[in-house]
Amino acid sequence: MRAITYALAVLGITGLGTNCVMAQTVADFYRGKTLEIDVGTGVGGGYDANARLVARHLGRHLPGNPTIVINNLPGGGGIRAANTLFNRLARDGTVIGTFSNAMITEPLLGSGQSLFDPTKFTWIGSASREDGLCVATQSSGIASWNDLLEKEVIVGTTAPGTTTYMYPVMLRNLFGAKFKPVSGYPDAGQIALAVQRNEVQAVCQTLSSIKIGRPDWLRDRVVVPLIALGLTRLRDLPDLMSVMELARTAEQQQILKVVLAPNLAGRPFLAPPGIPPQRTQALRDAFDAMTRDTNFLEEAQRLRMDIEPASGREIEALVNEIYALPEGVIARTKLVAR
């Protein structure tokens, strides 16, 4: 009995020592190093601003407190940055990235230029979700989702393949919404101007874009919210129905998950495949801790950035789920979203 007790004590000490060494290894690795964040857009804009906010706070929570720098890699709507990050030689945790959440489904639904596999990325987390929202002007006469099933409304969109185009087309093809898309606007800002000029009567885009770019729309009831485009209801509009509630079949639910998966990821941060497990966990823990940090939250509020975190494991689980769907579901998704 005494021998067993002694052996257990030795094992306990050994386990404690191993944990300490592992923790020291992560701290020692990052101490004095520079952590690079590759951003898939140019300087300025939402993704760049979000990356620079994270760069100012993440290092405090990462063992070893590395210096963090930004490297902008614009091109292809995020494809260049995603391809670069996935195929980098440095897979040690010194380089992470952030780029358009549409890259999550690019290999499934996109242009065929992707040289990466989203299921193999190391997902770290996102400080915000980017759920969408369809709105119509008061003058359109559309006051609810049910009205949209009965009366045609002109919706402004950018190019096919973008969310402003894909959302209304998907709602039309899958659920019978009477959206009539007018495409060709260069960006969501120009669509907003078209709404003000009464060229179009509706738009579907991220809630954050509306809150930051046109805060008066919802505040002053310039527009009427019609449907929330997220896996759950919007925190800011809890009484508004989510599109997921419209699904009546398993296939419809699966299609919606594919289309809306990027929303959960928001503005995601991720690393190349093959990062050592201890450093992966350290990056995830540091990111989660940062999103609860008072200094981080106060600066985000000053910048009018909503914080609604998604963990790396949440994003990873959803990515794995949609990439395990049958090919027929993906084919059907391509049809209804184009």
| Mean of pLDDT over the chain | 89
Greater confidence, 212 or 138?
A: 138
Greater confidence, 62 or 114?
A: 62
Q: Are 120 and 145 part of one and the same domain?
A: no
Q: How much is the pLDDT for 2?
A: 38
Our separate counts of H helices and E strands in the chain read 14, 11
Residue 273 lies in a domain: yes
Q: How much is the pLDDT for 24?
A: 57
Q: Mean pLDDT highest for which of 42-56, 69-83, 135-149?
A: 135-149
Mean per-residue pLDDT for 275-283? Answer: 97
Give residue-wise pLDDT tens across range 167-223. Answer: 999 999 999 999 999 988 877 788 889 999 999 999 998 888 888 788 899 999 999
Mean per-residue pLDDT for 14-42? Answer: 75
- Position 68 pLDDT exceeds 90: yes
Q: Beta strands of 216-328 (E only): which ranges?
A: 223-229, 269-271, 310-311
Exposed/middle/buried for 330, CB within 10 Å: 0-12, 13-18, 19+?
middle
Contact between 90 and 272 under an 8 Å Cβ cutoff? The reply is: yes
Pick the last residue of a domain from 201, 229, 257: 229
Residue 6 lies in a domain: no
Pick the last residue of a domain from 229, 244, 274: 229
Residue 238 lies in a domain: no
- Locate 154 and state its tokens: 């002109």
Domain holding 310, by residue range, is 31-129+266-336
Q: How much is the pLDDT for 13?
A: 39
Residue 9 lies in a domain: no
Q: Are 279 and 197 part of one and the same domain?
A: no
- Position 282 pLDDT exceeds 90: yes
Q: Are 122 and 181 part of one and the same domain?
A: no
Least-confidence region, from 9-23, 121-135, 197-211, 228-242: 9-23
Q: Which long-range contacts (CB under 8 A, 24 or more apart) does 141-145 make?
A: 142/201, 142/202, 142/224, 142/226, 143/224, 144/224, 144/226, 145/177, 145/226, 145/227, 145/241
Q: Are 164 and 119 part of one and the same domain?
A: no
Contact between 89 and 54 under an 8 Å Cβ cutoff? The reply is: no
- What gap in Å lies between CA 38 and CA 111, rounded to an integer? 22
- What gap in Å lies between CA 21 and CA 29, rounded to an integer? 12
Q: Are 138 and 213 part of one and the same domain?
A: yes
- Position 4 pLDDT exceeds 80: no
Q: How much is the pLDDT for 129?
A: 86
Q: How much is the pLDDT for 286?
A: 98
Q: Are 49 and 109 part of one and the same domain?
A: yes
- What gap in Å lies between CA 105 and CA 214, rounded to an integer? 28
Residue 322 lies in a domain: yes
Residue 8 lies in a domain: no
Which CATH number does the domain housing residue 220 bear?
3.40.190.10
Structural domain total, the chain:
2
Give residue-wise pLDDT tens across range 140-165. Answer: 999 999 999 999 999 999 877 678 88
Q: How much is the pLDDT for 337?
A: 83
- Position 26 pLDDT exceeds 80: yes
Contact between 135 and 176 under an 8 Å Cβ cutoff? The reply is: no
- Position 269 pLDDT exceeds 50: yes
Q: Are 156 and 206 part of one and the same domain?
A: yes
pTM of the model: 0.80
Residue 2 lies in a domain: no
Which CATH number does the domain housing residue 293 bear?
3.40.190.150
Q: Are 112 and 162 part of one and the same domain?
A: no
When pLDDT is cut at 50, 70 and 90, the band that residue 75 belongs to is: confident
- What gap in Å lies between CA 307 and CA 50, rounded to an integer? 11
Residue 149 lies in a domain: yes
